[in-house]
Amino acid sequence: MVAPPKIRTKNTGKKYWPPKTLKKETDNMNEITEFLKNRRSVLIKLLDNAPIPEADIEEILACGLRVPDHGVLGPWRIVTITPETGAYLGQHILAPEFQRLNTEATEVMLEFERQRFTRTGLVLAVLSTPVDHIKIPAWEMHLSAGAMCQNLLHAALGLGYGAQWVTEWYAYNDKLLAELGGNPPTDKCAGFIYIGYKKEEPKPRRRPEKKDIISSYIPPK
């Protein structure tokens, strides 16, 4: 392990080694970075819908709340959906709305919509609910909701579950948004985090090349 850096105090200029507790924290951070470098979402079709223990749900939700939030506004909401409550949404919201938007939908398609929220043990709907603020734009609040989705996803994966963050057509449906407690004129659905036990491990996925994404700023001459 790389030795922790020496810390120079502001007033005396003396150097001190960080306390021993920092070594343990550094080890933990190494675990976190390794997790982030190797994390992999799991497709919904590779998950089952066995119930998720309440203690694990609470852990995941607690992690979701530890998110950057400019102004401490809390401009988001999380709605938990179980297979039982998801069946109601599928029957009364998803299937009817899908049929309204797709007049030639087959019964097979409609049945899929009825069962959509029942495919995993838990679905977390994240709503971005910006508030009026004199200094903080709504865009930053929407970004915070996206960060919440990422936290929830990583927390579920970190506990050993499979999870996937999706949007799809129903994330942009006002009737579903309202049913989940959102206000369509101002709020948006940041996504749905599907969480379940893995039927199998996910396969590696192609990732962007760093050289295509990352650059260093060079001031003009």
pLDDT tens-digit profile of 103-152?
Answer: 999 999 999 999 999 999 999 999 999 999 999 999 999 999 999 999 99
pLDDT at position 1 is 42
- Encoded amino acid at 169, one letter: W
pLDDT at 18 over 70: no
**Structure confidence at residue 197 (pLDDT):** 97
Quick check: 44 and 121 in contact, CB under 8 A? no
CA distance 141 to 128: 7
Residue 205, pLDDT score:
84
Residue 218 tokens read as 């060079």
Output the pLDDT for position 161: 97
DSSP one-letter code for 77:
E
- Whether residue 195 contacts residue 42, with contact meaning beta carbons closer than 8 Å, is answered with no
Note the pLDDT tens digit of each residue in 154-201: 999 999 999 999 999 999 999 999 999 999 999 999 999 999 999 999
How confident is the model at residue 23, as a pLDDT? 62
- 216, 102 contact by CB (below 8 A): no
Q: How many CB atoms neighbour CB 152 within 10 A?
A: 24
Query: What pLDDT does residue 22 have?
Result: 59
Percent of all residues in the chain with a pLDDT value above 90, rounded to a whole number: 79
Radius of gyration for the alpha carbons in the chain, expressed in angstroms and rounded? 22
Give the span between the Cα atoms of 113 and 101, in whole angstroms.
Answer: 13
**Fold of the domain built from segment(s) 40-82+120-196:** NADH Oxidase (3.40.109)
Q: Residue type at 85? A: T
With cut-offs at 50, 70 and 90, classify the pLDDT of residue 58: very high
Q: What are phi and psi of 117, to 5 degrees?
A: -85, 5
SS percent in the chain: helix, strand, coil, step 5:
45, 15, 40
Residues forming a β-bridge with 78: 126
At 203, is the pLDDT very low, low, confident or very high (cuts 50, 70, 90)? confident
Q: Check pLDDT > 70 for residue 17.
A: no
Q: Quick one: pLDDT at residue 30?
A: 85
Which residue from 157, 147, 159 is spatially nearest to 190, judged by alpha carbons? 147
Q: How far is it between the farthest Cα atoms of the chain? A: 76
Residue-wise DSSP of 143-181: HHHHHHHHHHHHHHHHTT-EEEEE--GGGG-HHHHHHTT
In this structure, of 25-39, 70-84, 116-130, the range with the lowest mean pLDDT score is: 25-39
pTM of the predicted model as reported, rounded to 2 decimal places = 0.86
- pLDDT value at position 9? 44
Q: What is the pLDDT of residue 135?
A: 95
